[in-house]
């Protein structure tokens, strides 16, 4: 998967993702869901283009999850749903996944308590040296990605706040969810989120 700055135009979309997942589990096609999206305004947005943008983003994320994980996604408690939603986002964003694995995970293992501006700057500088794609991004795009990463981490429950100080909050994932994710090939995402 190529690096992309596309995450900046997307939100965490927790409830929207659950609705989309429910329709997928009912066996509806993306075309069927698209019709429902606008006719019933299930995402509660004012503009048609925004409704379809939310659908495209949430559909792409949740449709990548195995069916048994999707089932858990629409039935389990909100704290676990946040983690499953984050994993779906990580599956769709190589750069965000690498940030969690290389920066957040390392911070937890070392017992450090905060994601600093320096952590974000060093990560993006390293990626720019490794990738012509990242090196070609504007300062504005990189700044927006940094904000997006910390906001999504906050919404998923990995940070106390998305603004300074960005104090790390280690998440608790019950063993049944861990087994479900591991058995369905999502172990590397689980490890990135848990910090192990």
pTM, entire model:
0.95
Here the tokens at position 124 are 């993006």
Q: How far apart are CA 186 and CA 191, in angstroms?
A: 9
Q: What is the mean pLDDT of each run of 10 residues along the chain (196 residues)?
A: 91 97 97 92 91 96 97 96 98 97 94 96 98 97 97 97 93 95 97 88
**What pLDDT does 48 receive?**
87
Phi, psi (5° rounding) for residue 168?
-75, 135
Q: What's the pLDDT score for residue 196?
A: 73
Q: Output the pLDDT for position 82.
A: 97
pLDDT at 176: 95
> Quick one: pLDDT at residue 160?
96
18-20-25 Cα angle (round to 5):
90
Per-residue pLDDT, 38: 84
Q: SS3 string of the chain?
A: CCCCCHHHHCCCCHHHHHHHHHHHHCCCCHHHHHHHHHHHCCCCCCCHHHHHHHHHHHHHHHCCCCHHHHHHHHHCCHHHHHHHHHHHHHHHCHHHHHHHHHHHHHHHHHCCCEECHHHHHHHHHHHHHHCHHHHCCCHHHHHHHHHHHHHHHHHHCCECCCCCCEEECCCCCCHHHHHHHHHCCCHHHHHHHHCC
| pLDDT of res. 1 | 77
């Amino acid at each position: 998967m190529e690096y992309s700055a596309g995450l900046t135009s997307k939100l965490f979309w927790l409830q929207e993702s659950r609705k989309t997942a429910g329709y997928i589990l009912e066996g509806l096609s993306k075309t069927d869901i698209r019709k429902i999206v606008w006719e019933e305004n299930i995402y509660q947005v004012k503009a048609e283009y925004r409704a379809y943008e939310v659908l495209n983003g949430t559909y792409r994320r949740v449709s990548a999850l195995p069916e048994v994980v999707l089932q858990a996604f629409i039935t389990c408690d909100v704290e676990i749903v946040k983690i499953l939603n984050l994993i779906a986002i990580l599956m769709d964003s190589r750069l965000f996944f690498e940030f969690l694995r290389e920066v957040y995970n390392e911070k937890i293992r070392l017992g450090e308590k905060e994601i600093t501006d320096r952590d974000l700057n060093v990560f993006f500088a390293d990626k720019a040296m490794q990738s012509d794609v990242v090196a070609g991004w504007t300062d504005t795009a990189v700044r927006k990605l940094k904000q997006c990463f910390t906001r999504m981490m906050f919404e998923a429950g990995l940070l106390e706040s998305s603004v300074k100080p960005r104090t790390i909050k280690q998440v608790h994932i019950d063993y049944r969810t861990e087994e479900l994710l591991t058995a369905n090939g999502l172990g590397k995402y689980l490890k990135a989120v848990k910090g192990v």
